[in-house]
Amino acid sequence: MNAFFDGYINSMTTLQQFVQQYDNALQNKWEKEKEADFGSLNTVIHCGSQSLMERQFQKEYTHAKFTEVQTEFRSKMNCLIHHCHSDGENCTYIVMEESIHNEHCRERLFTVFCDRKTKDVQC
């Protein structure tokens, strides 16, 4: 909320000024979204893999949203399912993430629990 109104209102703003500035903030936001959509239609951010899923995101999302998804997508490429156990309704996965930090290989293990009945997932 603060970021939305930043530069438009302050603690001394009257109610009448607030209504006026609210309209200005909405107009500015709309114009920025319109510019982002236009930029997304006329340029392409290339995929970082040969994944059909990533390609679908590339075609459907704006550049800003696709960049977010691409960052998440890339980080998942470092994850491998190390072990899986299922007892019917519940599954437990041991996921190993491999990464390099300061030229040193690092491995982190995550335990992921999945309840098939409720579709709840915890990590």
Per-residue pLDDT reduced to its tens digit, 81-108? 878 888 888 999 999 988 888 898 889 8
CB of 96 closer than 8 Å to CB of 82: yes
Domain for residue 40, yes or no? yes
Same domain, 30 and 71: yes
Count CB neighbours of 94 within 10 A: 14
* Secondary structure of residue 31 in the 3-state scheme: helix
Amino acid at 64: A
62 within a domain of the structure (yes/no): yes
Q: To the nearest 10°, the Cα dihedral for 83, 85, 90, 94?
A: -20
Residue 56 burial (CB < 10 Å; 0-12/13-18/19+)? exposed
Which of these three, 40, 58, 75, is where a domain ends?
75
In degrees, to the nearest 5, what angle opens at C-alpha 118 toward C-alphas 111 and 75?
40
Query: Into how many domains does the chain fold?
Result: 2
83 and 70 both lie in a single domain: no
Q: Residues 86, 112: one domain?
A: yes
This prediction's pTM: 0.48
**Checking DSSP bridges between strand 120-122 and strand 90-101, what pairing results, if any?**
unpaired
pLDDT tens-digit readout, 14-59? 888 888 888 888 888 888 888 877 766 778 888 888 888 889 988 8
Identify which of 70, 5, 66, 73 has the alpha carbon closest to the alpha carbon of residue 39.
66
Kindly state whether residue 32 falls inside one of the protein's structural domains: yes
Domain that holds residue 88: 79-122
> Domain for residue 87, yes or no?
yes
Residue 2 lies in a domain: no
pLDDT of residue 122: 93
pLDDT of residue 94: 93
Q: Are 55 and 47 in contact (CB under 8 A)?
A: yes
Region 116-122 average pLDDT? 91
Per residue in 61-88, pLDDT (tens digit) is 888 889 998 988 887 888 888 788 888 8
Question: Do 114 and 98 fall within a single domain?
Answer: yes
If asked whether residues 25 and 60 sit together in one domain, one would say yes
